Amino acid sequence: MGHATGDAAYEDLTARARIRDAAIRLFAERGNDATTVRDIAQAAGVSPGLLRHHFGSKEALREACDHYVLDRIVKIKEELYVENKMASPSFLPSVHPTILLSYKYVTRALLDGSPRAAAMFDDMVALTEQWLGKNAPGVTDDYRAYAAVLVGMQSGMLAMHDHVSRALGADIFTTEGHLRMAGALTDFYSHPLLDPDYVAKAREAITQLRAAAEGA
Amino acid sequence: MGHATGDAAYEDLTARARIRDAAIRLFAERGNDATTVRDIAQAAGVSPGLLRHHFGSKEALREACDHYVLDRIVKIKEELYVENKMASPSFLPSVHPTILLSYKYVTRALLDGSPRAAAMFDDMVALTEQWLGKNAPGVTDDYRAYAAVLVGMQSGMLAMHDHVSRALGADIFTTEGHLRMAGALTDFYSHPLLDPDYVAKAREAITQLRAAAEGA
DNA sequence: GGCGGTGCTATACCGGCGTATAGTCGGCCA
DNA sequence: TGGCCGACTATACGCCGGTATAGCACCGCC
């Protein structure tokens, strides 16, 4: 990570690639607004002017990063998909540092309002909706909402990585923390959390509130 | 004076209260960094200098807002708790606009790194952990991770409200959208999503990856 | 009636941001 | 060898952020 200077492979990259990589790292870490072009330039070991020379503007650089990372992710997903038919869109055992960084980046991009990331979110919702119809038909009668909530929770938890990691005592964007999180997630998806009594009461409360809202 | 809205009750508030309310609204909507003291002043119908006069600095204003909103939330929770013993920390049928705004605010505060919000997150994790031990002892053998994931997903979904709302076709911070979301959430908590075969394979994959990571 | 303090405004200041521009270095081709 | 072109730097510009300061209007108190 902290290729200050001296890492041979890192030094061998073209300046353009170094800028892109540094930008991805910093955007993923701090978000778009909190990252300055001067920060990126320093991290890449170049002058700030070079960013403009190669990418035109900060916004264009961000789009290039979006494109790069999102492409990498769909490629990874395709590989995973053919490799073992894990068709579930829920979670993948993504433990390689690069993959983790990519997820971190996309999560931030979602919060930063990146159109590309938003499109990916929509795709995932659509995919999940289909998957539900095929593989888990009984769980709900509002597939759309269920899929939206599922994808939102999954990506949202990554957005809360600081807090989840703190509670866990391990960074969920490292292999160790990610696996512990994945374990809990598996528990979560395999057992119902609420007992039927409680669920019935909750449903009743919801329908009452809905009726009250419509009546008003 | 007499700025955005001619609402009488609004006009009757002291300038200090108007500033606080405007700040809460804007912080909740755009986050801390993206809202300027000039924005807040304009929304409150006062001059920018007055913010400094009453609160000292932007950061101090934010802390005052944190304090105010968080207090409001714990008060609401206490009321809910005594009213009907809904001891579950999972979700509350919070449909009042003020409550929804409060939740939106805290969610953003979590992303913005507010210490108070983070403390509340930790409290919720601890509470959830206890609750799990009492009310759902069988679901996992890593209570801590389970609770962290649960709270992270729940709050994270709110952080993704833009995208979830877009997928849903309804803003989840309005009563209508929130109830639809709550319905899906109830489905989610009451039925296992993954079938045992799939779960077994997932667990196996996780343990393999863990072993590989430790071996390395 | 004068008078001090408080709520409030107007304006100025400084730093950091993204961006623009002029200029330097070095390799490649005629 | 001369010249050109792309990679790259140094420096400056305009803008806008939070903040500081000076001054004004009002109101209770002696």
Summarised one tens digit per residue, pLDDT across range A16-64 is 999 999 999 999 999 999 999 999 999 999 999 999 999 999 999 999 9
Measured CA to CA, the distance from residue A123 to residue B214 in angstroms comes to: 35
Residue-level pLDDT at B83: 65
Q: Each residue of A120-139: pLDDT tens digit?
A: 999 999 999 999 999 888 89
User: What is the nearest CA distance from B183 to chain A, expressed in angstroms?
Assistant: 7
pLDDT at A172 over 50: yes
Q: Please, which residues have CB within 8 angstroms of residue B179's CB and are 6 or more apart in sequence?
A: A206, A209, A210, A213, B95
CB-based contact A157 B158, cutoff 8 Å: no
Measured CA to CA, the distance from residue B165 to residue B160 in angstroms comes to: 8
Mean pLDDT of chain A: 88
Chain-centre distance for alpha carbon A5:
29
Residues of chain B with pLDDT under 70: 1-12, 83-94, 216
CB-based contact B160 A159, cutoff 8 Å: yes
CB-based contact A194 B190, cutoff 8 Å: yes
Which nucleotides in chain C have some atom under 7 angstroms from a protein Cβ? 7-11, 16-22
Which nucleotides in chain D have some atom under 7 angstroms from a protein Cβ? 7-11, 16-22
In angstroms and rounded to an integer, the radius of gyration of the C-alpha atoms of chain B is 21
User: What is the nearest CA distance from B48 to chain A, expressed in angstroms?
Assistant: 23
- Residue in A118, A155, A186 closest to B199 by CB: A186
Residue-level pLDDT at A89: 40
Distance B103 CA to C25 C1' (A): 57
Measured CA to CA, the distance from residue B34 to residue B40 in angstroms comes to: 11
Residue-level pLDDT at B80: 74
Which residue type does A168 have?
L
SS3 call for A173: coil
Which element (helix H / strand E) includes A74? helix A58-83
Which of B206, B208, B214 would you mutate first to test chain A, the one with the most A CBs within 10 A? B206
pLDDT at A3 over 50: no
Which residue in B81, B97, B101, B99 sits closest to B89, CA to CA?
B81
pLDDT at A7 over 80: no
Residues of A with Cβ-Cβ distance to B120 under 8 angstroms: none
Distance B171 CA to C26 C1' (A): 58
Q: Work out the pLDDT band at A92, boundaries 50, 70, 90.
A: low
Q: Each residue of A70-81: pLDDT tens digit?
A: 999 988 888 777
CB-based contact A192 B191, cutoff 8 Å: yes
Q: Work out the pLDDT band at A187, boundaries 50, 70, 90.
A: very high
Check the CA dihedral B58-A27-B116-A152 and report its sign. positive
- Phi first, then psi: what are they for B140, rounded to 5°? -160, 165
**What are the tokens at A21?**
């990589």
Distance B114 CA to C27 C1' (A): 53
What is the DSSP secondary-structure string of A108-140?
A: HHHHHT-HHHHHHHHHHHHHHHHHHHHH-TTS-
Residue-level pLDDT at B123: 96
What is the DSSP secondary-structure string of B48-81?
A: HHHHHHHHSSHHHHHHHHHHHHHHHHHHHHHHHH
Q: What is the pTM of this model?
A: 0.90
pLDDT at A84 over 90: no
User: What is the nearest CA distance from B58 to chain A, expressed in angstroms?
Assistant: 17
CB-based contact A88 B138, cutoff 8 Å: no
